[in-house]
């Protein structure tokens, strides 16, 4: 029995069982992604977190000196504005 002619068998098999690609009618359509409301809110929160400034040691030291010398003034209006900003931010999340 001779088995050395197997190459021809595989060739015939592959020709008969080749995979044909069918062109889809919608090949021109582009993929679309629609984010959920929760994902949009997360993106907004992430953006706001990235906007937060890092701790500036120079500014902190300046405020410490002002507190020690008694020249540090608290601006109630600025505090109220920041509280309102935080409330508005929390409502968006």
Question: For the segment 30-50, what is each residue's pLDDT rounded down to a tens digit?
Answer: 888 888 989 888 899 888 888
**CA-atom Rg of the chain in angstroms:** 34
Residues making up the chain, counted from first to last: 93
The pLDDT assigned to 63 comes to 92
Residue matched to tokens 């906007």: 51
Give the residues of the chain that fall short of pLDDT 70. 1-28, 89-93
Cα separation of 9 and 13, whole Å? Answer: 6
The pLDDT assigned to 50 comes to 84
The pLDDT assigned to 4 comes to 57
Cα separation of 50 and 90, whole Å? Answer: 16
The pLDDT assigned to 29 comes to 72
Residue matched to tokens 């595989």: 10
Q: Are 92 and 49 in contact (CB under 8 A)?
A: no
């Amino acid at each position: 029995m001779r088995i050395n002619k197997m190459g021809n068998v595989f060739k015939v098999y592959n020709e008969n069982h080749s995979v044909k690609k069918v062109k889809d009618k919608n090949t021109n359509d582009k993929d679309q992604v629609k984010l959920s409301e929760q994902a949009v809110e997360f993106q907004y929160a992430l953006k706001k977190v990235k906007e937060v400034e890092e701790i500036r040691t120079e500014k902190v030291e300046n405020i410490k000196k002002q507190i020690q010398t008694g020249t540090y003034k608290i601006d109630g209006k600025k505090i109220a504005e920041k509280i309102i900003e935080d409330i508005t931010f929390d409502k968006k999340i």
